[in-house]
Every structure is written in C-alpha cells, then in structure tokens.
Structure 1
Amino acid sequence: MLKLYTARNSICTQKVFITLDEKSIPYEMQNVNLFTNEQYSPEYLKLNPKGVVPTLVDDGKAVVESTLICEYLDETYPQKPLMPPDPFSRTRMRLWSKLIDEQIFEATREISFSAHFRYKMQGMTEEQRQVRFANVGDPERRARFLSTYELGADSPYVFQAIGHFEKAFKSMDAALADGSQWLVGKSYTLGDINMVPYVARLDYLNLLDIWISGRPRVQDWWMRAKLRASTVEAIDKRLTQEEIDEMKTYGTAIRDAIAQRREDYLATAKI
C-alpha cells in the first residue's frame, strides 16, 4: 500500500490528499512533526533529502515534490484521469502547476508565516529556532524565513507574495472568462487541484476577499472547488477547530496591513 508522509496543515500535502480522494486510492499516512524538526531526522532525510513534506513511498520507492506526486498518482492509477487527454491542454494544466511551484507556494508560505507560524516559532527555544533556520539549506529560503520571522507582514517578501497572488488571480479570472467552470476546459484537473489548497489557506486566514471581492468568476470557481467532497475531506475535515480559529485570528490581525500593501502594490506595479 502507498505510504504518504505528511504534516499537520501542510498545504503541499493537501493537494496530494485531494488527488488521492478524487481517484479513490487507498494509502497509509505517517505524520512528520515539523515543529520538533522530525523532517531533519536521518531516517526521513534518506527518503526526502530536502527535509520537506510530502513524500510518497510506493513499493519502497520514494516520490518527492507534491506536483510530481500528483502526476505520478494520475499516471499510475489511470482511473478517473485528472490530466487532460490532449498535449496542448496538458501544457495549459502544467502552466498552473508551474505557477504554484515557482510563485504561489512561496507567496502562501510568506503570508502564512507572517500571520501565524512566526508566533509558533516565537514559542520555541532559541536552540530549536536555530536548528530550524540552520537546516533550511537554501540560502534564499533561509533569508525568507528570517525576514518574515523578524518583520512579519512588513517583510519585503510578503509584499512580493501579495503581488504574486494579484497576478495569479488576474490569470484565473482570464482563464474563466470563456464561461468554463474550471481552469483548463470543462473538467476538473490537476490545474485546479494544485491551486485549491493555496486559495483555501487565504480563505482560512480571512484574507481571500482582499483579492477576489471584485472578481466574481474567481469567486464562483472557489465556491465550486471548496464544496467538492475531495476538498472537504482533504482540508476541512483534517483541520481541528483550534487550527481553524488560530488561522482566522492571526490572519485577521494582519488583514489591514495586507490590504494596504496590496493597494501600494497596485499603485506602483504594472500587472
């Protein structure tokens, strides 16, 4: 049976959960506690040298990177395909995956971190924090962690994240302008699945409407996506009420700052 290594409230793993649920694939789950640095244990690093989640193990073979895991699952279990049948549409689908991997993943991380997780790190011991920063590995990623930890919503990386989301929602609005229900044609695909957890995180943080209040097509897409059984199972039902309350509380605390920084972005950027 498949074994999926995950963590509490991991956005990247949520899109794997959605894919597994959409395709009705059985699996076992192993939790990795990121706040006690279990992801840096020698045993886990053998599976995933980056020390991140998720990791999928299939018959002893480790598959890493959530986008690749979702495509692996779709190709390995062809029932109810989640990739379009023709090459051009698959390319369009992968453009959404590329957007997530290159921009929206980091954007969501910076906003989430500034709103919520930095407060959890403030509750760690100095030794635990230093281990967390030291094991990041990539200097650019470490700089992002340090900046959002020290500056919160005032971090320049958060400003960059706001811009990335602005462009992403503008692209979504354009993709839905022909009347399609989903981002790539008439069918729900990995393009939608890859986007769902990141939009959901903004929603839980009470920040989503800052970007989509004037975009009814994106609002309608989100209502369709959030009510799918796979979204409910993969995200809503896996969160505790405490986690939901925390995200709303900490997101609301930076809401005015995020809204103002978006206005600053719109006033200066060409999008």
Structure 2
Amino acid sequence: MPQIATGSAVLRGLTGLHLWHAGNSNCSQRVRLVLAEKQLSWTGHIVDLYRFEHATPAYRAVHPKGLVPALIHNGRTIIESNDIIAYLDTVFPTPSLRPTSTDAEALLALAAASQLSLRTLSHEFMFKQTRRYDAKQLESFTAGHGDSEFARFLTKFSLHGFTEAELLACFDTIAAGLTQLETRLEQADWLGGETMSLVDICWLPNLHRLELLAFPLDGRPALRRWLAAMQARPSYRVALADYENELPPVTAAECQRRDDFFTAALLRQSA
C-alpha cells in the first residue's frame, strides 16, 4: 500500500480524514464513493486542476507527483485511489466492501487498464477547451508537476493532438472492457461478489464518465441494469452528481463531432 512520508510537520499533525481531490477526477470519485458508503466524516481540500493547483509546491508537499487524490489519516499519507479505498475498507471495516468473486482482481485490473483510454477520449471530447495549453503553460506545468508521464500526455494533447487511429484504439479498448462487464453481470447483480463492493466502486466513475461522453452503451442490458442500481444509491449523488456543476462547457459543434466519431467507430466494429 503506497503510504508515503511527508516532510511537513503540519501535515503529519492532521487528525481525522483529510482528502485532497478534484470534482471531475474519476480517481477522486472512487474515494468519495467509499467515504459516502461508509458514512465517514472527512475534511475535503479541493484541488483546482484547471488552475494548475496540482503543480504547486503546496500540493506537491501533500503528493510529490502532483496527482489527485491524496488521503491523510491521522498524519499518515496514502496515495493512489485503489490503495486509498482498500485502506479505508481495512481501517473502517463496516460495512465491508471487500470483493469476494474469483474474478474480482481481474476486473479491478481491467478498470485500471482502461484509464488511459478513458483519459484520452475525455480530453478529446470534454476537456479540449479547458485543458489544451500553449507552450508557455506547458513549460510551467511540467516544471511544477511531479508526474512526467502525465506531462507528456498533456504535451501531446495540447501541441499535436490524437490521431483518428489512436482515438479508435481507445474506443476499442473501452468497448472490449464493457463487453467483459456485460458477461459478468449477465451472471450476477454485482461485479465483485454477492453484494456491492470495491470493484463496483472502481467501475462506477468510469461508467459515469462514459455517460457524460455519450459513449454508446446500447446492447448491454445487464450493464445498464447495474448502472441504474449504482446510481440509485445515495453515495452516487454525494460523491459524483453533486460535483456536476464543475463540468467544463462543450459546444454544440464539439458534441456533434463526438457523436459522429462514436457512430463511425460503431460502424467500423460491425463491418
């Protein structure tokens, strides 16, 4: 579990649960879902990604790589969303969210493997107006941010963009993952066992983002049923829906381009 040491006496002296998070970050959403499901009290610290707050010395003192989320519990710092939610389920075991199905680990790994494709489609069709930076902004971001892989991603997105082939590959990766979920949910109500678990929580923000992207989910009735059940839980409103006012604006022309891309991608798969 990636617990890290902090050099800040102030951070080490914090008591209770403190979460540094961003409203639209699906990794942050996972942690907020667990906190809501367990009805835990916590102090939130919003990190404004659009203003580069994750690339400031103040936030780098919390998370050296400048990524969200980061959790501090009684002075102990835990990073990486999947490790944070596993930590919370261990330290606060009631109600238990531990998965029990034999394929739970594979489905957790699949959710993680889908992140780059989801990030790419999100930037292409949701964040183009707010996350495309000029050379000066990229230089400032790269100098202050601690994750070189993400800096390279933003540089490519901002200066060069993604090719049609790259976007189609991302579409195919996500579609293949959804097919695996559909197969699992044809046999069970939940992804991780007999009850809702961390596996379901890991996947809900991904499906939430895909809905915002208008990603085609037709032909997957079991997945639709599962998604409706997850969205009916109070935690969905508290952890995801209540943050929708932070969504970036998307023009009508961008929506049409997105819809045309998904239509063409579907036709390509069925050809």
DSSP-derived class of the 1:5 partner: strand
Q: Which residue of 2 aligns with 1:197?
A: 205
Question: Per-residue deviation at 1:32?
Answer: 1.1
DSSP-derived class of the 2:39 partner: coil
Q: Which residue of the other structure, out of 252, 268, 271, is the alignment partner of 1:264?
A: 268
DSSP-derived class of the 2:43 partner: strand
DSSP-derived class of the 1:239 partner: helix
Output aligned runs, 1:41-120, within 5 Å. Answer: 41-84=56-99, 89=101, 92-101=103-112, 103-120=113-130
Change (3 A) 1:162 1:6: same
Change (3 A) 1:164 1:133: farther
DSSP-derived class of the 1:254 partner: helix
Q: Distance in 2 between matches of 1:261 and 1:147?
A: 22
Q: Distance in 1 between matches of 2:54 and 2:195?
A: 36
Question: Per-residue deviation at 1:44?
Answer: 1.9
Q: Which residue of 2 aligns with 1:131?
A: 140
Q: Distance in 2 between matches of 1:249 and 1:83?
A: 44
- Residue identity (%): 25
Q: Distance in 2 between matches of 1:263 and 1:150?
A: 30
Match for 1:237: what amino acid?
D
TM-score if structure 1 supplies the norm length?
0.84
Question: Per-residue deviation at 1:160?
Answer: 2.4
Matched, 1:229 2:234: yes
Change (3 A) 1:144 1:126: closer
Match for 2:200: what amino acid?
D
Q: Which residue of 1 aligns with 2:13?
A: none
Any gaps of 5 or more consecutive residues in structure 1? Answer: none
CA contact (8 A) 1:205 1:248 kept: no
Q: Which residue of 2 aligns with 1:188?
A: 196
Deviation per residue, 1:28-78 (Å, 9 max, x gap): 000111122211222322321211100000111110000000000000001
Question: Per-residue deviation at 1:4?
Answer: 0.2
Any gaps of 5 or more consecutive residues in structure 2? Answer: 1-15
Change (3 A) 1:138 1:7: closer
Deviation per residue, 1:2-23 (Å, 9 max, x gap): 0000113111100111110001
CA contact (8 A) 2:21 2:69 kept: yes
Output aligned runs, 1:147-186, within 5 Å. Answer: 147-150=156-159, 154-178=163-187, 180-186=188-194
Q: Which residue of 1 aligns with 2:53?
A: 38
Change (3 A) 1:46 1:11: same
Change (3 A) 1:237 1:194: same
Change (3 A) 1:138 1:17: closer
Match for 2:123: what amino acid?
F
DSSP-derived class of the 2:20 partner: strand
Q: Which residue of 2 aligns with 1:218?
A: 223
Q: Which residue of 1 aligns with 2:7?
A: none
Output aligned runs, 1:242-257, within 5 Å. Answer: 243=247, 246=250, 250-257=254-261
DSSP-derived class of the 1:260 partner: helix
Question: Per-residue deviation at 1:192?
Answer: 0.5
Match for 1:200: what amino acid?
H
Q: Distance in 2 between matches of 1:46 and 1:221?
A: 39
Q: How many residues align?
A: 256
Match for 1:158: what amino acid?
L
RMSD (CA atoms): 2.5
